[in-house]
Amino acid sequence: MMPEVPLARIAGGILALIVLNASVYTLPEWQQAVLTQFGRPVGSAVTQAGLHFKLPLIQKVHRLDKRILNWDGDPNQIPTKDKKYIWVDTTARWRIADPLLFIQTVQTEDAAVRRLNGILDSATRDTISNQNLVEAVRNSNSLLDKIKAKAEAEAQKKGEALPGAEEEVTGEIEPVTVGREALSAIIIEKAKLGLREFGVELIDVQLRRISYESSVEAKVYERMISERQRIAQKIRSVGLGEQSKIQGKINKDLQEIQSEAYRKAQTIRGEGEGKAIRIYAQAMNSDPEFYEFIRTLEAYKKGIPQDSTLILSTENKFLELFRKR
């Protein structure tokens, strides 16, 4: 028979296991921890993954994420400096840089998100409202640069620029002085000051979407269409002017070519007629009767229609020519 194990030893073993289990905790690679004792942080933050120890029942482990976290704000209606009301949807990335300070101030990620909501919304509103709409929509003047570069290339190719076309188009496009990326950087700098005291590091902020308020969106689109149609009409007018100039030059060149061709044709025809006259003169001098015969044939050919029957008397001079031959 096996010896009986005292109940006290069994209870002591179970208690030892409970105490050991309460004294040990593990951290994965993506977590960090802060120990608190009676609600107050103890020691420094634990950032290394692996097995760690704590005082059982007295100390509590607060686990925090080490990874970069996403923040998605709610769309806010913000007026720009040029009095255009727009909806701005912002997103950001952040991480817990100081776990100990984080536990002392906000304690949980949900509380940190609420802090981010207020600080980032305020920084975004303050930044956007001090700039014109174009600064939040575009990032650079690349469109203007492309139009100017194309106009310069056309001018070099043709030797002259299209008057007023490039100036008309670029004049309707407001140039950018700050740009969308710079606005994001300004928002980050403003928000960092408020988040630093919570142990939070702001990685970046992006203006994810910007749209007009629904009440003015249709009017804005109508104005944009009207402006583009006016620009198109202006460019068409310039193009028609250039077309008229080109067509006039073509007509002038065509008249010159036709005049020169007519002059040369008349010269060649005159030379040909002169040669024919000389040949006829030589033929008449060498054989007057044969020349008379040829001229008579030509006269009949021109004077008598085709498919005609000609009846001649025996006394006709034409037959006399044949009899002589």
pLDDT for 1: 45
pLDDT-based confidence at 214, cuts 50/70/90? Answer: confident
Residue 1 lies in a domain: no
Top mean pLDDT of 6-10, 148-152, 183-187 is at: 183-187
User: Which of 193-197, 211-215, 219-223, 295-299 tops mean pLDDT?
Assistant: 193-197
Could you tell me if 38 and 117 lie in one domain? Answer: no
CATH of the domain at 200: 3.30.479.30
* 73 and 208 assigned to the same domain: yes
Tokens 């990874």 belong to which residue? 67
Torsion-angle region of 201 (φ positive above 0: left; ψ -120 to 50: alpha; else: beta): beta
Amino acid at the residue 56: P
Q: Are residues 120 and 240 in the same domain?
A: no
279 and 209 in a common domain:
no
Answer yes or no: is 131 within a domain.
yes
pLDDT given for residue 323 in this prediction: 58
- 85 with 208, same domain: the answer is yes
- Taking only the tens place, the pLDDT of each residue in 93-140 is 999 999 999 999 998 999 999 999 999 999 999 999 898 888 887 777
- Written as one string, the DSSP assignment of 87-127 is EEEEEEEEEES-HHHHHHHT-SHHHHHHHHHHHHHHHHHHH
Q: Determine what percent of the chain is predicted with pLDDT higher than 90.
A: 19
Q: Which domain holds residue 87?
A: 69-223
**101 and 215 together in one domain:** yes
Residue 30 shares a structural domain with residue 118: no
Residues 82 and 212 placed together within one structural domain of the fold:
yes
pLDDT in tens, 231-290: 788 888 888 888 888 998 999 999 999 999 988 998 998 888 888 878 777 776 776 767
pTM reported for the whole predicted model: 0.58
Q: Which of 207, 223, 239 is the last residue of a domain?
A: 223
pLDDT-based confidence at residue 67 (cuts at 50, 70, 90)? very high
Q: Is residue 2 part of a domain?
A: no
pLDDT of res. 193:
86
Return the pLDDT at 181: 87
Contacts of 63 (CB under 8 A, 6+ apart): 27, 31, 32, 33
Model confidence band, residue 165 (pLDDT cutoffs 50, 70, 90): very low
Residues 282 and 292 in one domain: no
| Residue 314 resides in a domain | yes
Does 97 share its domain with 240? no
Of 23 and 269, more confident: 269
Domain C-terminal end among 203, 223, 243:
223
Does the residue 307 lie in any domain? yes
Residue 223 confidence (pLDDT) = 72
Would you say 39 and 73 are in contact if contact means Cβ atoms under 8 Å apart? no
> Do 271 and 130 fall within a single domain?
no
Q: What's the pLDDT tens digit per position in 28-57?
A: 999 899 988 888 888 888 888 888 888 887
Q: Which residue type does 146 have? A: K
| pLDDT score of 2 | 47
Q: How many domains does the chain have?
A: 4
76 shares a domain with 219: yes
